[in-house]
Amino acid sequence: MKIIRPIRSSDYSALHTIAVESGIGFTSLPVNEDLLKRKIASAEASFQSSVTAPGSESYLFVMEDTETKEVVGTSGIESTVGMDDAFYHYHLGTVVHASRELNIHNTVDILTLCNDYTGVSEICTLFLKEKAREGTNGKLLSKFRFLFMMEHQERFAETVIAEMRGVSDENGESPFWKWLEEHFFSLDFPTADYLTGIGNKVFIAELMPKYPIYVSLLSKEAQAVIGKVHEKTKPALQLLEQEGFCSRGYVDIFDAGPTVEANLQHIRTAQASLKMNVHIDDAMALQGETHYIINTEVQNFRATAAPVVIEEQSHIAIISSSTAEALNVKEGEPIRFSPAKLSNM
């Protein structure tokens, strides 16, 4: 069985391995010992904190195989972004150049540097090892976050975003960044990506063009990847779109990958979730449909995917003893859960 729990300091080696495997373009996990250890320490402090409003908390979770005790994936949530460090995006908009006298009317796409997402929550740092990409593991590693946020709404903003990895080749070269590098930065994409990942963002403000960029002036290769995702990121984007996330024209400043957003209350897994006390019955639980389930703790948080039988009249959720053990819940304690297969809404 796979469970999801808060990261702890003893998980450093596993997180470092995941950072190496994730490769260039996975900005939130640079291969840097000091930064990774600080991320773990920050997460541990966040899980232990008492919160009444979203702040600088950073929640990092790991997926663990209960049989081997191996960490096979990671997933995170930032309570807010842009409050301590500037959070940059390009917004894709349009301007009109028109002359009534000459009967000319041209609509032109432009990219404008902005900080519009300051203060929103972000789901991030999702990576599952190749060997664990089976069954419901990938969906669990993404969707449990919506249950955690729904259960602990005081810790998060109403708007939730996800930055999707943009197009780059096997060497980590981005067609979009290549154009910016040539005209403004003199800095290759892997280096720029790494510097951002370790929190060094001053160079962005210093070197990024201050005025809107006319898309038509970019190379054809750069234009073609604006708002597009990396081939390996397509399944993740599709999953979020099914949850109700959509793009409003914001793209990453390095690889032009899209940022998608949703209101927490409208995310399908969160919206469909129920909170009930548990009854433990191995025989009855076998009749249940698979659900994504969390306990209602923060510091001792657990999540898993398992069958649940819902007794609506008595408002009880029936689970097996192994599921209860995985979640660290006892008879009569509460869980929040959502069906793995969501009906059309």
Q: Is 89 a catalytic residue?
A: no
CA gyration radius, the chain: 22
Would you state the structure tokens that stand for residue 34, as one six-digit string?
A: 């000091």
Count the Cβ atoms, other than its own, within 10 Å of residue 232.
10
In sequence order, what are the beta bridge partners of 162? 260
Distance CA 107, CA 126 (A): 38
Catalytic site residue from 16, 89, 183, 230: 230
First-residue to last-residue Cα distance in the chain: 30
The candidate with the shortest Cα–Cα distance to 229, out of 198, 204, 199, 260, is 260
| Bridge partners of residue 89, in order along the sequence | 114
* Contact status, residue 57 vs residue 155, Cβ threshold 8 Å: yes
Residue 53: helix, strand or coil by DSSP?
coil
Cα(270)–Cα(144) distance, integer angstroms: 9
| Residue the block writes with tokens 């005025």 | 211
Strand partners, 94: 109
| Separation between Cα atoms, residue 273 and residue 254, nearest integer Å | 36
Torsion angle of alpha carbons 50, 53, 58, 60, nearest 10°? Answer: 70
Reading the block at residue 177, the tokens are: 């960044």
Catalytic residue IDs: 230
